[in-house]
Amino acid sequence: MPELPEVETVVSGLRKLIGKKIKSLEITKPKLVSVGPGVLSPKRIHDQSHVRKFKQALQGRKILAVQRRAKLIQIRLDKDWWILVHLKMTGQIIIQNRGQKEVRVRLMNTPNSPIEKLPCKHTHIIISFYDGARLYYNDVRVFGTWRAVKNRDLKLAKDLQDFGPEPLDKNFTWRDFKNQLSQRPNLKIKQALTEQKLIAGIGNIYSDEILFWTKILPTRLVKKINPEEWLKLFGVMKKVLKKAVKECGSSVGDFIQTNGKIGNYGNYHMVYDRKGLACKICKSPIKRIVIGGRSSHYCPHCQR
């Protein structure tokens, strides 16, 4: 489940492709790709013309830069083209280096998950570069999106324009943070933290972990958080996200790095995916509830 730290990890891996020129693309799931600032409408399934346009736009383009905004990967190409990639739930990007004969990866971080040689049945996009390097895009649930967008149309990409501030931005203060979330005083703090329009990049894993370290229950309303807690929440958020980036993210389900390795932050999880297990601080069993249709894990003793 890629969130800010996982996407940042993928972006770091993708930067190895800077300077390379796209030779060809293979796309076996047409619904994944589109041309233009918006995602494709449902009727796309019956129309293949956008696949041709997508390939035409990218063929021969050179990668100039790779960056992240919220959970969106932005690949800047020459001739004013961009690729906007959202991994959603199960998107994976694996790079085969120039001269590397084959790539074998364990697609899931589970003991009995087989090691697959790429491309495998979940590989839906393959990008080949002139120097022999390759990019494989795997997506089990096919929720991901790849958009080819012209520079002038970037401002029409609604999701991109609506993202809230970046939590790790140096100019982002705890007061900005409080003001952003306080736009929705009646929302539960768990939901507010995962709302991309309020604050960018935080999803289910890190919202749970941040709230644990702040000792705030996920069900607490935004308006019931006091100034001291805002300051703490802000500090914890930065600390947790920075540590997770350093550890190359969490591999709870499908996430892997572009080199096929798993992320290490899962070893540091205090509550996420630990239902019924003992709290690492007080030994109380971790609880799981559903908030806004999403699972939320917390320690009923440590969090108030």
The residues annotated with a catalytic role in the active site are 2-3, 71, 294
- Alpha-carbon span 115 to 103, nearest angstrom: 10
Window 175 to 194, contacts with DNA (CB under 7 A): 183-184, 186-187, 194
142 binds DNA (CB under 7 A): yes
Task: Choose, by CB under 7 A, the member of 104, 117, 158, 246 that binds DNA.
Answer: 158
Task: Choose, by CB under 7 A, the member of 48, 97, 113, 179 that binds DNA.
Answer: 113
154 binds DNA (CB under 7 A): no
Q: Site for DNA (CB under 7 A): how many residues?
A: 38
140 binds DNA (CB under 7 A): yes
Q: Give the nearest distance from C-beta 40 to DNA in angstroms.
A: 10
Task: Choose, by CB under 7 A, the member of 86, 147, 220, 269 that binds DNA.
Answer: 86
Pick 187 or 262: Cβ nearer DNA = 187
Task: Choose, by CB under 7 A, the member of 24, 196, 219, 259 that binds DNA.
Answer: 196
Q: Give the nearest distance from C-beta 255 to DNA in angstroms.
A: 11
Task: Choose, by CB under 7 A, the member of 15, 294, 300, 301 that binds DNA.
Answer: 294
Pick 5 or 13: Cβ nearer DNA = 5
Window 22 to 81, contacts with DNA (CB under 7 A): 31, 39, 45, 70-72
SS3 sequence of the chain: CCCHHHHHHHHHHHHHHCCCEEEEEEECCHHHEEECCCCCCHHHHHCCHHHHHHHHHHCCCEEEEEEEECCEEEEEECCCEEEEEECCCCEEEEEECCCCCCCEEECCCCCCCCEEECCCCCEEEEEEECCCCEEEEEECCCCCEEEEEEHHHHHHCHHHHHCCCCCCCCCCCHHHHHHHHCCCCCCEHHHHHHCCCCCCCCCHHHHHHHHHHHCCCCCCEHHHCCHHHHHHHHHHHHHHHHHHHHCCCECCCCCCCCCCCCCEHHHHCCCCCCCCCECCCCCCECEEEEECCEEEEECCCCCC
Cα angle 17, 103, 241; round to 5:
60
290 binds DNA (CB under 7 A): yes
Pick 86 or 287: Cβ nearer DNA = 86
Instruction: List interacting residues with DNA (CB under 7 A).
Output: 1, 3, 31, 39, 45, 70-72, 86, 88-89, 108, 110, 112-113, 121-122, 140-143, 158-159, 183-184, 186-187, 194, 196, 203-205, 288, 290, 292-295
